[in-house]
Structure formats: C-alpha cells, structure tokens
Amino acid sequence: MTLRVFIDGAAGTTGLEIHQRLASRREFALTILPERERKDVDARSAALNDADIVILCLPDDAARDAVAMIETAAVRVIDASSAHRVAAGWTYGFAELDPGHDAAIASASRVSNPGCYPTGFLALVRPLVRAGLVPSDWLLTVNATSGYSGGGNAMIAAFEDPSDPHADATAHRAYALDLAHKHLPELRAHAGLDHAPIFQPSVVRTRRGMLVEVPLHLHAMPGGPTLDAVRDALADAYRGSEVVRVRSDSPGAIRVEDDAGTDRMTLYACGNPESGQARLIATLDNLGKGASGAAVQNLNLMAGLEPTAGLTL
Ligand SMILES: NC(=O)C1=CN([C@@H]2O[C@H](COP(=O)(O)OP(=O)(O)OC[C@H]3O[C@@H](n4cnc5c(N)ncnc54)[C@H](OP(=O)(O)O)[C@@H]3O)[C@@H](O)[C@H]2O)C=CC1
Ligand SMILES: CC(=O)N[C@@H](CCC(=O)OP(=O)(O)O)C(=O)O
C-alpha cells in the first residue's frame, strides 16, 4: 500500500533534505505544497488531514499550530521541532534509545524527533545510566559543536551571504551562555538524569556535522568504573545497530565533519585509564541522524518497512 506523506515546511533546511531522501521511494506518495501555498492555512489544513503520515519541519509554534489543525489521531505525525520532545502522549523518536524502543515508534501516532545535540548526548549517556555506571544524580557537562546548517535557512544565509564582507569572520562561536538552551528538558529527561547537564554548544564555519562530547571523572564516581567498562557498556547497547556504531579504538583526532553527509552516528570512549578520566564523543550530521535521517528512520518504522531504507550509512 502506498502511504500518503505530507511534508509541512518542505522549503526549509530539514524539510528539503527529507524530501530529497523520499523523492525516489515508491512506498510513499508525497504532498509538497507549491511556494504560493506553503504558508496558506487552508491548503496546509487540507494536506495535513488528507495524509496518512505528516512530517512537520517547522519552527516550534508553527508545529504546535499544525498539530492543532489535525482533526483525527488516524493522521500520524513526526514532528522535527522541539515542541513535543517531553510532551505527554508523544513517543520520543530515537529508535536506539532503549532495547525495544523501535517497536514503540512503529506503533505510535505521535512521534517527536530528537534534537540534534540530544541525539549525541543521549546515545553516550543513557546506556551508562541504564547500566548503573553513571548515577542518575551525577552532575554532567556536555560540550558540543555544530555545523552552521544547524541554525536552519537563516543561519546558512548569514554564514554564506556573498554581499556581507564579514560573512566569513566567524570560525567558532560559543552560544547559549545563559544556560537555558531549548534542548535542556530532553537532555535531562531522556537520559534519566535528576539534573540537567551544563550544556555548552558552539557553532563553527563548516556547513554540516556535529561533535558532542561528555567529559567524565570516572575515578570520582561511585564504584570507579574503568574506561573499558564504559566502552563495553556502549558496545553492548548498540551491538547489531547499523546506524549507531561504537569504535573500540581511540583515534588521534576526531573531526566535526567525520559523519557529515551520512545518517549514521559514531561513538567513542576515549581517555586516560591511569588517571581515570574519560572523554565520551559522538559524531553525527545535524541534518542526518540529527534531523532528516532520524525522521526517515522513524517514517520507515511507522510504515512497517526496513528501518534503514533510504538512509546513507
Ligand atoms: N537544521 C537542523 O540541523 C535541525 C533542525 N531541527 C528542527 O527542524 C525544524 C525546522 O528547522 P530548519 O529546517 O532548520 O529551519 P528552516 O528555517 O530552514 O525551515 C523552516 C521552514 O518552515 C517554514 N515555516 C515557518 N513558519 C511556517 C508556517 N506557519 N507554515 C508553513 N511553513 C512555515 C519556513 O518558511 P520561511 O523561511 O518562509 O519562514 C521554512 O521554510 C525546527 O523546529 C528545528 O528545531 C531539528 C534538528 C536539526
Ligand atoms: C547551530 C544551532 O543554532 N543549532 C540549533 C539546534 C538545531 C535546532 O534548532 O534544531 P533541534 O532543536 O530540532 O535540534 C540551536 O542551538 O538552537
């Protein structure tokens, strides 16, 4: 059966990438509104209610409005925005979050795609909390770097503006200095932590890619887990996954672009076994596993298809 899929926000960075990934898929009949109608409430309402599955690639407020416009739970939703990531009645769309979580997504009516930074953080931390290696009340920090496409069309235009002589002035910019970034609720809740981490994001002059890092003083933690125990817990959590890969080595350097252009994520447990200090690192593409790739993975699951169909791994 061909499923009718409406991408609301298809002219945006995330929506465009989802459109490109789905354009050649025969299992789906896509609805994309023309430029003159893409913000027309009547046209969007008709498309939203005529679909089997809608994918929202909109700012948070517009995503909430879109959900309110849907008249029946029979229309299933994947929301790429941060509007519903800790909302009751929504399934968090990170298939590898826990064993069996892919089945919860497959049967869900309302699925919220994870944030790009949380995808890296949760992949590193949640299995360690689940295994009891990181206590739920431990205080964590997450340092992260994103390509500028993470800021959508507006940030891409600012970094690439040919008319601005200063457009290339920024190599690296720290932000969210008020420690109130919109990702904090999902970072805490889905990691299973009592306290939100200190979240230190930055954006760099590369178009896409992401590096998310969690430092740990293993020696100070209850039980003093070893670096090997941490690496083994990560390897156990993602054994058999085509999307999330755990490297057993510790390379000399890891680049923000290492997984750019793909829908995969790579995890590392680096550090110094002598001093008992670790640097857990995830690389992914903010527009791949961090957004559009995850949305297509969730769509595949909800449609009962091979989860990795159409993904670049
Ligand atoms: N970029 C990324 O790496 C990631 C983005 N996301 C999330 O995906 C969502 C989309 O982000 P992104 O693609 O980057 O953003 P963009 O700004 O690139 O795209 C958003 C699109 O939504 C359109 N839009 C805004 N309001 C409405 C409306 N009322 N009705 C219809 N269309 C509307 C915009 O049109 P116009 O520009 O004309 O206003 C634009 O085309 C966000 O919620 C973001 O948090 C999630 C993970 C990663
Ligand atoms: C570089 C940059 O600005 N990144 C965005 C995060 C990406 C985004 O808005 O989307 P999600 O919340 O859905 O991940 C930010 O920090 O707000």
Phi, psi of 97 (to 5 degrees): -55, -45
- SS3 (DSSP) at 39: coil
The pLDDT value recorded for residue 1 is: 81
Q: What is the DSSP letter of 250?
A: -
* Catalytic-residue membership of 116: yes
CA–CA dist 191, 41 (Å, integer): 37
The pLDDT value recorded for residue 166 is: 85
Q: What is the DSSP letter of 256?
A: T
How many Cα atoms occupy the beta-carbon half-sphere of 201 within 13 Å? 24
**Spans of the chain below 70 pLDDT:** none
Q: How many angstroms is it from 74 CA to the middle of ligand 1? A: 25
214 strand-pairing partners: 280
How many Cα atoms occupy the beta-carbon half-sphere of 132 within 13 Å? 2
Ligand nearest to the CA of 63: 1
Phi, psi of 205 (to 5 degrees): -80, 65
Q: How many angstroms is it from 228 CA to the middle of ligand 2? A: 32
Domain coordinates of the chain in residue numbers?
3-114+291-302, 116-286
Average pLDDT, the chain: 97
Number of residues that make up the chain: 313
Ligand nearest to the CA of 147: 2
The pLDDT value recorded for residue 85 is: 98
Which parts of the chain fold into alpha helices (H)? 13-22, 41-50, 60-69, 101-106, 116-130, 152-160, 184-191, 227-237, 293-302
* C-alpha pair distances (Å), 34 with each of 12, 15, 64, 284, 308: 13, 13, 22, 31, 29
Residues 240/220, Cβ–Cβ less than 8 Å:
no
Question: DSSP states of 1-18 as a string?
Answer: -PEEEEEETTTSHHHHHH
The alpha carbon of residue 167 and the mean position of all alpha carbons in its chain are separated, in whole angstroms, by 27
Residue of 14, 18, 20, 60 best suited for mutating to test ligand 1, as the one with most atoms within 8 Å of CB: 14
Q: How many angstroms is it from 274 CA to the middle of ligand 2? A: 37
Q: Residue with the nearest Cα to atom 14 of ligand 2?
A: 115
ipTM of the shown complex: 0.97
The pLDDT value recorded for residue 250 is: 86
The set of protein residues with a Cβ atom below 6 angstroms from ligand 1 is 9, 11-15, 38-39, 57-60, 62, 80-82, 115-116, 149-150, 152-154, 286-287, 290-291
Identity of residue 71: E
54 strand-pairing partners: 6, 77
Please give the helix or strand (H or E) that residue 267 lies within, else none: strand 265-272
Q: Residue with the nearest Cα to atom 11 of ligand 2?
A: 115
The set of protein residues with a Cβ atom below 6 angstroms from ligand 2 is 82, 115-116, 146, 150-151, 155, 183, 201, 203
CA–CA dist 56, 67 (Å, integer): 9
147 strand-pairing partners: 204
Ligand nearest to the CA of 56: 1
User: What CATH architecture applies to the domain 116-286?
Assistant: 2-Layer Sandwich (3.30)
Q: Which of 305, 149, 150, 307 is nearest to 243 (CA)?
A: 307
CA–CA dist 168, 63 (Å, integer): 32
CATH class of the region 3-114+291-302:
alpha beta
Q: Residue with the nearest Cα to atom 6 of ligand 2?
A: 150
Structure tokens belonging to residue 278: 């670790």
Total-model pTM: 0.97
**Choice among 116, 280, 291, 294 that is catalytic:** 116
